Structure 1
Amino acid sequence: MNMQNALTDIQALASNRRRTSDDALFLHRAALEDIDDRLHIINRSFKSAAIVTGFPQVWNALRPDAQMVPDADTLALHQAAHDLVIHALGLHWANDPVGQMIQARRALVPDGLFLSVSYGGQTLHELRACLGQAEVAVTGGLSPRVAPMAELREIGGLLQRAGFALPVADTTTLRIEYTDMWHLMRDLRAMGEANALAARLRRPTARAVFDAAGKLYQDHYATADGRIVATFELVFLMGWAPDDSQPKALRPGSAQHRLADALNTAETPLSD
């Protein structure tokens, strides 16, 4: 893709990730546990897995035998080499999310499984609202501060665009309490999730913007004991590399039995 139109500054993202703290990667571990639960439900034994992640030190615990693949724009995956590819909490920084999924599909054998977990559109909605309102009030302008994250319906549709069969998308929401907005932002830096947008403001932000945002956060999103709440939405995607053995939808009008008979109920015609 044209890097002049890139969403993410790859060098800034790598720099942010080098400053992570292991204690702050609790969202990765929560996502890992959820992915592990999903794999146990699927009645399939996977023998050649790959995990696309910027945090192999965490995700290696999921499948120690898996190939760890950096979540670069071009994934180091070989065609038809894996029966399982997991994309782990990196799609929100991807300059081409559909391209990432297409590369993952091509790396799968027929009927191989793709699983992804990424941050959804409700993530940090409180922080985004407060920073935006404060910046407009103090400076009269607005700069990109939080990576845009797609809603469930939008990101689920990417599976079909990438050519996956039997696509499934669902979401879970975690609400984390912090002492104040400054505590939250320190945690985001320790997670490697500080601002790495290519269009980010390249000069220091006025302290007045953060002070105003902190007050707005406290006024609108505080708990009864004065702590603030931050929302993290995890979106899970699942799709299969196409294969002739997979179930397929019947042609409209090809049914051999009436639904009313199957339900043992009377069929009532609709009025004109």
Structure 2
Amino acid sequence: MQDAPLLFDRPALHLRRSRAARDATLFMQEAVADEVQERLIEVNRTFTAPAVVTGWPQVWTARLPDARIVADDETLAFEVGAHDLIIHHLALHWANDPVGQLVQSRRALRPDGLLIATLFGGQTLHELRSAFAEAESRIQGGLSPRVAPMAEIRDLGGLLQRAGLALPVADGAQFNVSYASALHLMRDLRGMGETNVMGARLRTATRADVLRLAAQIYHDSFADSDGRIPATFEVVTLTGWAPDHSQPKPLRPGSATHRLADFLGTGEGKLDPTQD
């Protein structure tokens, strides 16, 4: 049986990143790394064996100088139980097997070790996607595989449980960036190494007329009063812990010792809508 084609062309991703590294645009990598550091402060725990999975190690060398840097390859270069903290940083959306990435990370954690994974979510670049979709439909009569499918936050939380992580949490935040034009945005995406590497993508350059029309549609649909266009980056953060006996456990169904009605001060099933 022939293997199904991979969603992402990983060699192309590495090539795009290598080209971008000459003049990298890392403001999103930096901003999300700052958010992760704030979360670690809130955890209020000292981690002695951290690791960071990333395609941009320079973002983390000053932040976590003692961390082991691991390339976001399909097979992560981890040892079992070697780390008490793993940060999987803005790379999971390029994984052909995201659950496998989380499973590998969980196996590399010590009991009660923490995983924080960040990735771009489903609302990312929705403006650019809609502009290109309309432009291609008008000129070519159809759509090409151009923007990678990105998962919604409601679906991503389940990945943590599938990977065997405890106390799973998924939440999202939007970063809104403005540009002079769609062409300026696309230049930044090249500098981020975040351009199209879908396995089914067209292997020819985008037609100039499609590019011009997409830029015009983007401006006409989204530009503000100053003529600048917005670009949305949705970042989803997944947090989970390697299972450990010390962690809190959910109560068994039917084990409650008090009725909800007792706390509400109402009759059974009769919440008074006039109460504050």
TM class, shorter-chain normalised?
over 0.9
The letter for the 2-side match of 1:163 is: G
In structure 2, distance between residues paired with 1:60 and 1:123: 27
Does 2:29 correspond to 1:14?
no
Does 2:128 correspond to 1:131?
no
Q: What secondary structure does 1:159 align onto?
A: helix
Residues 16 and 23 from structure 1, CA distance in 2 versus in 1: closer, same or farther, beyond 3 angstroms?
Answer: closer
**1:184-224: CA deviation from partner (whole Å, max 9, x where unpaired):** 00010011111111111011221111111111101101011
TM-score (norm 2): 0.94
Identity of paired residues, percent? Answer: 55
Contact 2:125 2:232 in 1 (8 A): yes
In structure 2, distance between residues paired with 1:3 and 1:228: 42
The letter for the 2-side match of 1:214 is: A
**1:85-129: CA deviation from partner (whole Å, max 9, x where unpaired):** 110000111010000000000000111100011100000000011
The letter for the 2-side match of 1:153 is: R
Counterpart residue number, 2:64: 63
Higher deviation after alignment, 203-212 or 213-222:
203-212
Residues 254 and 206 from structure 1, CA distance in 2 versus in 1: closer, same or farther, beyond 3 angstroms?
Answer: same
The letter for the 1-side match of 2:185 is: L
In structure 2, distance between residues paired with 1:81 and 1:3: 33
User: Offset of 1:231 from its aligned partner?
Assistant: 0.3
Residues 32 and 3 from structure 1, CA distance in 2 versus in 1: closer, same or farther, beyond 3 angstroms?
Answer: farther
In structure 1, distance between residues paired with 2:19 and 2:223: 29
Q: What secondary structure does 1:51 align onto?
A: strand
Higher deviation after alignment, 137-146 or 25-34:
137-146
Q: What secondary structure does 2:33 align onto?
A: helix
TM-score (norm 1): 0.95
The letter for the 2-side match of 1:19 is: R
Q: What secondary structure does 2:144 align onto?
A: coil
**1:129-164: CA deviation from partner (whole Å, max 9, x where unpaired):** 110111111111211112211110111111111111
Does 2:69 correspond to 1:91?
no
Q: How does 1:133-212 map to 2 (within 5 A)?
A: 133-212=134-213
Q: How does 1:112-123 map to 2 (within 5 A)?
A: 112-123=113-124
Q: What secondary structure does 2:176 align onto?
A: strand
Counterpart residue number, 2:274: none
In structure 2, distance between residues paired with 1:151 and 1:4: 24
Contact 2:261 2:268 in 1 (8 A): no
User: Offset of 1:3 from its aligned partner?
Assistant: 6.8
User: Offset of 1:23 from its aligned partner?
Assistant: 5.6
The letter for the 2-side match of 1:266 is: T
Q: How does 1:71-110 map to 2 (within 5 A)?
A: 71-110=72-111
In structure 1, distance between residues paired with 2:63 and 2:7: 29
Gaps of 5+ in 2: 272-276
User: Offset of 1:8 from its aligned partner?
Assistant: 1.2
How many residues align? The count is 269
In structure 2, distance between residues paired with 1:195 and 1:235: 20
Q: What secondary structure does 1:11 align onto?
A: helix
Contact 2:20 2:191 in 1 (8 A): yes
User: Offset of 1:251 from its aligned partner?
Assistant: 1.0
In structure 2, distance between residues paired with 1:197 and 1:140: 21
User: Offset of 1:25 from its aligned partner?
Assistant: 0.4
In structure 1, distance between residues paired with 2:127 and 2:3: 30
In structure 1, distance between residues paired with 2:127 and 2:5: 27
User: Offset of 1:20 from its aligned partner?
Assistant: 1.9
Q: What's the Cα RMSD here? A: 1.6
User: Offset of 1:175 from its aligned partner?
Assistant: 0.9
Q: Which portions of structure 1, spanning 4 or more consecutive aligned residues, are displaced by more than 4 angstroms?
A: none
User: Offset of 1:24 from its aligned partner?
Assistant: 1.4
In structure 2, distance between residues paired with 1:179 and 1:19: 24
In structure 2, distance between residues paired with 1:13 and 1:106: 26
The letter for the 2-side match of 1:6 is: L
In structure 2, distance between residues paired with 1:98 and 1:23: 29
Q: What secondary structure does 1:20 align onto?
A: helix
Q: What secondary structure does 2:78 align onto?
A: coil
Gaps of 5+ in 1: none
